[in-house]
Amino acid sequence: MEDKMYSWKMSELKADFQLVESPFPELNPDEAFIKISGCGVCHTDLSFWHFGVKTKKELPLTLGHEISGKVIAGPSEWLNKNVIIPAVLPCGECELCKKGRSNMCQKQLMPGNDFDGGFASHIKVPAKFLCLVPDAVLEKYPLEKLAVVADAISTPYQVLKKSELEAGDLAIVIGVGGVGVYGALIAKIMGAKVLAIDLDDEKLASAKKNGVDAILNIKDLDFKTIKGKVIEIAKELNASRYGWKIFEISGTKAGQELAYNLLTYTSTLSIVGFTMEKPEVRLSNLMAFDAKVIGTWGCKPELYPEVIDLIASDKLKIEDFIELIPMSQINEVFQNTLHHKYKKRTILVPDFK
């Protein structure tokens, strides 16, 4: 493998990924070549592979945007450094970048979308916004496990900051799977009183074990009943009846409709999960409650060091929510993920021979 790289290519919708061998690519002066340690499987990957969401680059394409690895070629300041590759790589120079909205840079590049991603042995990326992983963090977690920083942790971190969450606020997190559970834990770190909502008792129990204040399984409950229970829980937690911060992370129509129905006076609803389905909501509620709805797209690279600091300081523990699987099992993993067979975030670890 000294001068060869291997990747699992998506060639068509819903088809098995194919293993492809290719020579190491040539690098531009501003590019880094990274030996991949781990790449997480995200709902966005499923959207590309199974649900018909179009990638920017034409197929065949290597998916995967949640990547950690070690720089083996490129700019001298990055050589042999352990890094996280941000899922959104901006230009750093445009109007949006200069206004602090680099995650929405219109020249942005996304691994596994704009160019070949992380389900591979190696990857070539722009070096400008790589996130250094300090040795102190690697003493706590191996590099492959830190791949989740690139989306599952950084994405909720950004939206929590955008939501203007304050200590003592009630934070309601709908969907506490791979991204949602980190959102719930980060909200707790920020001082909120956190309610986790899901349909899965095991996921809820894991969230409770790791520090959220309350959990609610909403299976077979209607919106009115759920809101009544949330009001009761807010009272039990001595949280305000106003200004709830609601985070929809399930990426489902039902989850989005529930999140909207939980709006109350001066609430902020953050949409984090993605679905192609269109929820039915009454927008006039925003006027009546003087509430707001915000979205988020990935996380700007400037915030990644803050996320790393949460892990380095032991405020955020990631071990209970990730599962390592050899990358050679990618086809089985995608099928299992499609059918919701995993309780944890799956990270594929290269095992090419």
d(CA 128, CA 113): 19
Q: Is the pLDDT of residue 253 over 70?
A: yes
Rounded average pLDDT over 253-276:
95
Contact at 8 Å (CB) between 120 and 266?
no
pLDDT at 2: 66
d(CA 95, CA 72): 33
| Arithmetic mean of pLDDT over the chain | 95
pLDDT at 206: 92
Lowest mean pLDDT among 8-12, 136-140, 177-181: 177-181
pLDDT at 95: 98
Give the CATH fold of the 154-295 domain: Rossmann fold (3.40.50)
Partners of residue 195 on adjacent β-strands:
172, 214
State the pTM of this model.
0.92
Contact at 8 Å (CB) between 190 and 167?
yes
Q: CA of 261: how far to CAs of 72, 215, 233, in Å?
A: 50, 18, 16
Q: Is the pLDDT of residue 1 over 60?
A: no
Q: CA of 140: how far to CAs of 57, 173, 207, 243, 319, in Å?
A: 36, 27, 21, 37, 10
Class for the domain spanning 4-151+299-349: alpha beta
Rounded average pLDDT over 145-162:
96
Q: CA of 288: how far to CAs of 44, 230, 242, 265, 285, in Å?
A: 34, 20, 13, 8, 5
pLDDT at 276: 85
Contact at 8 Å (CB) between 186 and 249?
no
Domains in the chain: boundaries:
4-151+299-349, 154-295
Work out the pLDDT band at 103, boundaries 50, 70, 90: very high
Pairing of the two strands 4-10 and 170-174: unpaired
Question: Reading across the β-sheet that carries 292-295, which strands appear in turn?
Answer: 214-217, 193-198, 170-174, 245-248, 268-271, 292-295
Of 350, 341, 302, which is closest to residue 102 (Cα–Cα)?
A: 302
User: Which residues, in sequence order, are CB contacts of 130 under 8 Å at separation 6+?
Assistant: 32, 71, 78, 81, 83, 84, 85, 86
Q: Is the pLDDT of residue 56 over 60?
A: yes
Rounded average pLDDT over 174-182:
92
